[in-house]
Amino acid sequence: MPLLPSAVLLAVFLAGPIGYCVYYAFTNMQLTGSATTDFVGFDNFTRAFGDPDFLNAVWLTLVFVVGSAIIGQNTLGLALAVMMEKASKPVKAITNAVVIAAWVLPEVVAGYLMYAFFFQQGSLNAILDSLHLPQQNWLYTLPILAACLANVWRGTAFSMMVYSAALNDVPQELIEAAEMDGAGPWQRLWRVTLPVIRRSIMTNLMLVTLQTLSVFGLIYAMTRGGPGNKSQTLPIFMYQQAFQNSLIGYGTAIALVLLLVGALFSTVYIRLLKLEED
């Protein structure tokens, strides 16, 4: 019974808009230029899959998710958590503060900070210059790499916290036993710690993947998807189609594809978790 209000809220505010979204995706609705809205079946989807810009956006989204979430945030978060276990109190406190500061910043603020960091006269190039290393025009030559690094910087705290909690649950006796058997630190990590926390790994992977799939403000503030379409991930592409080209129907269809990609990732992770349990 106490669930009822939440369920009603969810139905109205979450399921409702998604239902509308599904409907719009099958229409040619426009923000301007056309007064009527017709049902066009799968036209928007066939158009998307024949559109090189859309395929480019799908590819960049995958690069972004795999690079910054699955490899970047996840691995770095785990590494930080493992190192923090052994660290002294002050080091722990400082690392925590820095990493979590990046996490609590609003996405757009983080985007502007990262813009200031990466742009041509920005702090990164100033640092490179003082080290006598060649400067790079990060946002222009390799915008997707800059966006990945920014997302790693911003999102690693989350993984670190998940893993810190998980590592606390690894029974100390197991580690000690492995140590007695002569396992080195790498072997202990690989053969004892990781298998024990594997469920947290899956959960974390799923959460960071979903968070990263929907990143918009960060990239928009840094590059607006440019130059050209070199950092145009699906959320940016969707925004541009819907609000710059006024093609609401087409934009919504892309949103739906994004939703499906997210669902696909989640299903894979959940299945992997299930296999574990069986």
Partner 1 sequence: MRTRLLAAVSVTAALAITATACGGSSSGSGSSSKTIKVVYQQQLNNSNKVQANFLAPMVKQFEKDNPGTKVQLVPVTASSNDYYTKLQLMMRSPSTAPDLVYEDTATINSDIASGYLKPLDDYIAKWSDWSQFADASKAAVKSGTDGKTYGVPDNTDTRGIWYNKKIFAKAGIAVPWQPKTWADVLAAAKKIKAADPSITPFNIYTGTAGGEQSTMQGFEMLLYGTKAGGNSLYDSDQKKWVVGSQGFKDALEFIRTVYSEKLGPPVEQALGANIGAAVGTEMIPAGKLAMDIDGSWMPNNWIRNGSKPWAEWESTMATAAMPTQNGQAPGRVSMSGGWAWSVPAKAGNPDLAFKFIEFLETKEASAKWNAENATIAVRKDVATDPAYLKALPTNKFFTELVADTHYRPALPAYTQVSTAIQKAMESVTTGQASVDKAASTYDNDVKTAVGADNTVKGS
* Binding stretches for partner 1 (CB under 8 A): 2-3, 5-7, 9-10, 13-14, 30-35, 47, 51-52, 120, 137, 139-140, 224, 226-228, 230, 243-247
The angle formed by the CA atoms of residues 274, 188 and 272, to the nearest 5 degrees, is 10
Of 8 and 109, nearer to partner 1 (C-beta) is 8
Spatial CA neighbour of 169 closest among 144, 147, 201? 201
Token reading at 122:
């920005």
Provide the minimum distance between the beta carbon of 228 and partner 1 in the complex, in angstroms, as a whole number.
Answer: 4
**Angstrom distance (rounded) from CA 44 to CA 228:** 23
Provide the minimum distance between the beta carbon of 231 and partner 1 in the complex, in angstroms, as a whole number.
Answer: 12
Q: Among the residues of 65-171, which ranges form H helices? A: 74-86, 89-104, 107-118, 123-130, 138-141, 143-168
Of 32 and 130, nearer to partner 1 (C-beta) is 32
Of 205 and 247, nearer to partner 1 (C-beta) is 247
Provide the minimum distance between the beta carbon of 194 and partner 1 in the complex, in angstroms, as a whole number.
Answer: 24
**Angstrom distance (rounded) from CA 181 to CA 179:** 5
Provide the minimum distance between the beta carbon of 226 and partner 1 in the complex, in angstroms, as a whole number.
Answer: 6
Spatial CA neighbour of 76 closest among 257, 197, 233, 204? 204
Provide the minimum distance between the beta carbon of 33 and partner 1 in the complex, in angstroms, as a whole number.
Answer: 4
Token reading at 159:
């993984």
Of 31 and 105, nearer to partner 1 (C-beta) is 31
Of 14 and 83, nearer to partner 1 (C-beta) is 14
